[in-house]
Amino acid sequence: MTMEEEVGAILDRLQPHQVWDLTGQGLVYMKGEGEMLTLIATFNTMDAAKVHGVVKGEALKRGWVVNDESPRVIQSQDEQMEFSLDLKRQQIGQMICPGEDCDLPIAAYDFQNAHWRFLGDKVVEQDGEELSYEDWGVEASCPVCSNTILMPPRDFELVVGTEALETFRGQQRTYEVLHPSSITEIVDSRPDHGLVILGTICPVSGERLPIHLRGRVAVSFNNEEEE
Which among 110, 119, 29 has a CA at the least distance from the CA of 72?
Answer: 29
Round to whole Å and give the CA distance between 167 and 160: 12
Which among 1, 39, 33 has a CA at the least distance from the CA of 14?
Answer: 33
Which among 175, 166, 164, 173 has a CA at the least distance from the CA of 140?
Answer: 164
Highest mean pLDDT among 24-33, 167-176, 184-193: 167-176
Segment (H or E) for 227 = none
Q: Are 103 and 76 in contact (CB under 8 A)?
A: no
Q: Is the pLDDT of residue 124 over 80?
A: no
pLDDT tens column, 63-120: 999 999 999 998 888 888 888 888 888 888 888 998 888 989 998 998 988 999 999 9
Mean pLDDT of 23-40: 87
Q: What pLDDT is recorded for position 1?
A: 67
Instruction: Look at 19-28, 58-67, 145-154, 172-181 and tell me which has the smallest mean pLDDT.
Output: 19-28
- Domain parsing of the chain, residue ranges: 3-94, 96-160, 161-227
Q: What pLDDT is recorded for position 216?
A: 94
Round to whole Å and give the CA distance between 175 and 184: 18
Round to whole Å and give the CA distance between 153 and 69: 32
Mean pLDDT of 34-43: 90
Instruction: Choose between 193 and 161: higher pLDDT.
Output: 161
Q: What percent of the chain has pLDDT over 70?
A: 96
Instruction: Name the pTM for this structure.
Output: 0.70
